[in-house]
Structure 1
Amino acid sequence: LRFGGAEMQTVELVNCLARKHDIHLFCLAPESKLSERISKEVKVNVLGKKVFLDPVVLFKLVTKLRKIKPDKLVSVNCYSTMYSYLVKPFIGKGSKTLTIQHTTEFPVNFTENIKVAVYTRIINRMDRIIFVCNNQKKHWVEKYKINPERSLVIYNGVNLEHFMNYPLDKSTSRGKLGIPEGDIVIGVNAVLRPEKKHEHIIDALEMLAMDGYPVKLLIIGDGVRRKHLEDYIRAKNLTDSVIISGFVDDVRPYLASLDISALTSVAVETFSIAALESMAMGKPLVLSNIGGASELVENGENGFLYEAGNIEQLYKSLKYLIDKKLFSDMGKESQRRVSQHFTREIMAYRYDLVLCG
């Protein structure tokens, strides 16, 4: 399990479901630190996949599943769904197949086009197809011809108490990070990959700084683009205004220090766990309007949406939030929305209904 939204959601889900059900979790790839967060009630099987379609892993899966005799065989995203589809004929007719999809768009190239053509045919043979937001489901049904009769939406959810009950306040959290009390802190909690477009928030920060606002940018995460972003920040003379945390085990101290939480992705984002975590910490959001962002943000109520890639709109949204001093009011609305719609308990309850159906 690597650290990503789908993986984190899977861990939260199996931990909740294991309170009522006998849960076996199969990980195709080797373990990661995320495995440490899995409840001891979950029986974990690490299969150690070495090639794209690993016959040894397929054999292990069939052998173990024949012993378990599962009522439901649930796969997460396209790749694991392919494995689920291939082993299903060898484990008996009693198991129903479900797939949970966290992706909205796929890279556009010849190899990926072939994969998508195969994956979508496999997905349409699952008994139930679960999407994580309505915008995503609509897109898959229209573009990839996924069967709408077998499809439903269950929103991602977060552990609300874990975030709401964080003991350190904004001032203390900022002190630990060396951020002055009077600064306005904008944060981005996202792995440093090209599609996250951290450059856009850096550009907006530069514009705000030129207007005279005492702004700081906190980038929470690490990844392949770190050196590029550090060079980009240095070229704009913003080294003293930007902190890159690197990978962190606990995002709460960093989220607690923020005034505004932003995501500037131009692709891939579907229904952001990072955005939900910020909402649970009572932060207003500024999100690029892709994937399920419009289902997270009620524009002008708990934050703002802007056209992905439009840095001027991003800048204006941030400026409006700052000028109108809306951090507290919009932050409270974020927390209200997540508590009513996007908790892990609500998520687990809805999955439980599907699994028992």
Structure 2
Amino acid sequence: MRLMFVVSSLDCGGAERHTLELASALSARGHVCDLVAMKAAHDEGWSRTMIADLPADLPLRILTLDARGHFDHSAVRRLSAELRQRRTQVVIAVNGYALIYATRALRAAAFEPRQRPALTLAYHSTRLRGIKEALQHALVTPLAWNCDQLIFVCDFQYRYWRRRGLHARHDAVIHNGIQHERYSPAARARWRGITRATLGFDDTDFVLGCCAQLRPEKNHQQLVDAVIALRQDGIPARALIVGEGRQRPLIERYVREHAASAQVTLVGHQDEVERYIAAFDVGVLCSVAHETFSLAALEQMAMGVPVVLSDQGGAREMVSDDVQGFVFPTSDTAALMQALRRLFPMEARQRMGEQAALQVATRFRHEQMLDRYERLFESLVGGVGQPAAIAPLSCSPP
């Protein structure tokens, strides 16, 4: 197949990372894949590192079109020319901004009906924050109706957007998947002692880890509050925060103001994040928005780390309370602390960590996810807008 993935930019986000990994994996299976970023990344360090880690002989072509705003005619013309020159069979627009450009470029290319690439919207967003996102959604919704396929990444997201009129000719759910070779209990056992010793953690420390960009909606301050409260209760809690972003000075100031510098460690962005996950006793995400189906949570679970997640997006599709961890009401610090107290006993952590690893191994493996995407795209190549034998909603593995 000849596939073209279109993203807004290659910034360090879950959707962008998922797309780069998906395009790379499909390229490795022999498909011709292009990855087009409409805008330059705000911080190109992450994308450079990710691209540098790809095999040198991987047939994945990556380019940036430097679009300005939503209606850059020059960027539309360039994308249109790419579609014709590359003889693309399926265009995968990732989220609304990319769909605006992909739709306009397909129109400008003026394909004959039998030659027109199938248009797919891969949607990673849940809920709208602010007027700007609401306006973009109003623009994107009618464009989605004309897409041949819309892919959601969890059942909650599918139901949420269907109620609000977002759908295409065909809809499907494909959950995110994790590379079990990299994120595994064995990798945790290999790195746990080394990383904890390097960071100065004792064996008795109750390390609460968070892997997330340092952005307002990730709500890192709530994790700091929980650590402080747990220590007041005599539990030796420590926070290990992995990630970088514009909120770092604010988080560091918050930690200092609450006299918690000795209990909170920020290590910035880490390319080999599995080494740091290995040091976690519990993974925590306190997000208040933009958490559709967390790759970070799945990675931690795959390594045998139980997780405590705010009730955002599809959190309850990966975690059942007291089985793989807990899901708590968003922003409810008392509920977060109650879940963490229940995970403090070693026996509880071990039991739920084993179940977390089993959940990913059986339901959210990378190869399973990749197979579903490949089958869906192959069905679209056979006839535009006519997926063959694809269930409208694929919620769980066969």
- What is the CA distance between 1:211 and its match in structure 2? 0.6
User: Which of residues 4, 15, 26 is equivalent to 1:17?
Assistant: 26
TM-score (norm 1): 0.95
One-letter code aligned to 1:17: L
Q: CA deviation at 1:156?
A: 0.9
In structure 1, what is the equivalent of residue 145 of structure 2?
Answer: 124
CA contact (8 A) 1:9 1:157 kept: no
Name the counterpart of 1:147: 167
The C-alpha deviation readout for 1:283-302, integer Å capped at 9, x for no partner, is: 00100011010011011100
Deviations 1:26-68 (A, max 9, x none): 1212353233344522122222223332222111111121111
TM-score (normalizing by structure 2): 0.86
Q: Which residue of 2 aligns with 1:304?
A: 326
| Other-structure match for 2:296 | 274
1:196 aligns with 2:218: yes
Offset, 1:16: 1.5
Corresponding residue SS for 1:245: strand
**Runs ≥4 residues deviating over 3 A:** none
Using the alignment, how far apart are the partners of 2:237 and 2:134 within structure 1?
43
Matched, 1:177 2:221: no
Deviation at 1:148, TM superposition (A): 6.8
Q: CA deviation at 1:149?
A: 5.6
Quote the residue 1:4 is aligned against. Answer: 13
2:98 equivalent to 1:80 = yes
> Which of 178, 203, 206 is the equivalent residue of 1:158?
178
Q: Matches of residues 222-261 of structure 1 in structure 2 within 5 Å?
A: 222-261=244-283
User: Which position in structure 1 is the counterpart of 2:392?
Assistant: none
Bigger mean CA offset, 257-266 vs 87-96: 87-96
1:55-70 aligned at under 5 Å gives the runs 55-70=73-88
Residue of structure 1 equivalent to 2:315: 293
Q: Output the CA distance in 2 between the equivalents of 1:181 and 1:6.
A: 35
Given that 1:16 and 1:345 are in contact with CA atoms closer than 8 Å, whether structure 2 keeps it comes out as: no
**2 CA distance for matches of 1:283 and 1:198?**
19
Q: How many Å separate the matches in 2 of 1:226 and 1:283?
A: 25
Write the deviation string for residues 301-356 of structure 1: whole angstroms up to 9, x where unpaired: 00001000100000000001114631111111111111111122111100011101
Rounded to whole Å, the distance in 2 between the matches of 1:107 and 1:9 is: 22
Contact 1:11–1:38 under 8 Å retained in 2: no
In structure 1, C-alpha distance between the alignment counterparts of 2:305 and 2:134, rounded to whole Å: 38
CA distance in 2: counterparts of 1:194 and 1:66, whole angstroms:
41
- SS, match of residue 237 in structure 1: coil
Counterpart residue identity of residue 81, structure 2: T
- Kindly report the root-mean-square deviation, in angstroms, between the aligned alpha carbons of the 2 structures: 1.5
Q: For structure 2, which runs of at least 5 residues remain unmatched after alignment? A: 1-9, 380-398
The one of 126, 136, 143 equivalent to 1:115 is: 136
Aligned to 1:36: 52
Which residue of 212, 215, 233 maps to 1:211?
Answer: 233
Question: Per the alignment, in what secondary structure is the counterpart of residue 361 of structure 2?
Answer: helix
**Counterpart Cα distance in 2 of 1:127 and 1:204:** 46
Instruction: Write the distance in 2 (CA, Å) between the matches of 1:97 and 1:113.
Output: 23
Residues of 2 paired with 1:147 and 1:244: CA distance? 40
**8 Å CA contact retained: 1:12, 1:158:** no
By how many angstroms is 1:89 displaced? Answer: 2.1
Q: How far off is 1:252 after superposition?
A: 1.1
Q: What is the one-letter code of the residue matched to 2:16?
A: E
Give 1:73 deviation, angstroms.
0.9
Helix, strand or coil: the match of 1:146? coil
Stretch of structure 1 that moved more, 70-79 or 82-91: 82-91
Alignment correspondent of 2:371 = 349
User: What percentage of residue pairs aligned between the two structures are identical?
Assistant: 32
Bigger shift: residues 127-136 or 153-162? 153-162
Structure 2 CA distance for aligned equivalents of residues 90 and 226 of structure 1: 43
- Report the Cα distance in structure 2 between the residues aligned to 1:9 and 1:65, rounded to whole angstroms: 22
Give yes or no for the alignment of 1:103 onto 2:121: no
